[in-house]
């Protein structure tokens, strides 16, 4: 299944400046694995040592936060948009 992955500005150096890439994957875990395969470095930035999503990284399938769905096992329908959004802190 082909999906579009929106890349945040801070990670675009890994994609040669591209803001969006197309990848295959039936769930978020597959999409992120394929993203790292096509553009090495994403896994280290997005996943912790146990393979879980880092706390400061948010991933959405369409408009739904995967933390409130099935996490990395959230299904990604063909043609869906996956957005990677780093958490922003400030004060």
Tokens in use for 59? Answer: 């991933």
- Residue spans of the domains in the chain: they are 2-86
89 pLDDT band, cuts 50/70/90, is: low
90 pLDDT band, cuts 50/70/90, is: low
d(CA 2, CA 39): 16
What pTM was computed for the model? 0.92
Q: Which pLDDT value is given to residue 84?
A: 97
Q: Which pLDDT value is given to residue 88?
A: 76
**Tens-digit pLDDT profile for residues 4-61:** 999 999 999 999 999 999 999 999 999 999 999 999 999 999 999 999 999 999 999 9
CA neighbor of 18 nearest in space, from 29, 3, 8 = 8
Q: Which CATH superfamily groups domain 2-86? A: Beta-grasp domain (3.10.20.30)
d(CA 16, CA 86): 19
């Amino acid at each position: 299944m082909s999906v579009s992955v929106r890349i945040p500005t801070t990670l675009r150096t890994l994609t040669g400046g591209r803001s969006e890439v197309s990848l295959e994957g039936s769930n978020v875990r597959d999409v992120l694995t394929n993203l790292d395969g096509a553009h090495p470095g994403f896994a280290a930035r997005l996943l912790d040592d146990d393979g879980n999503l880092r706390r400061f990284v948010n991933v959405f399938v369409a408009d739904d936060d995967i933390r409130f769905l099935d996490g990395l096992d959230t299904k990604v329908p063909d043609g869906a948009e996956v957005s990677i959004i780093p958490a922003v802190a400030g004060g």
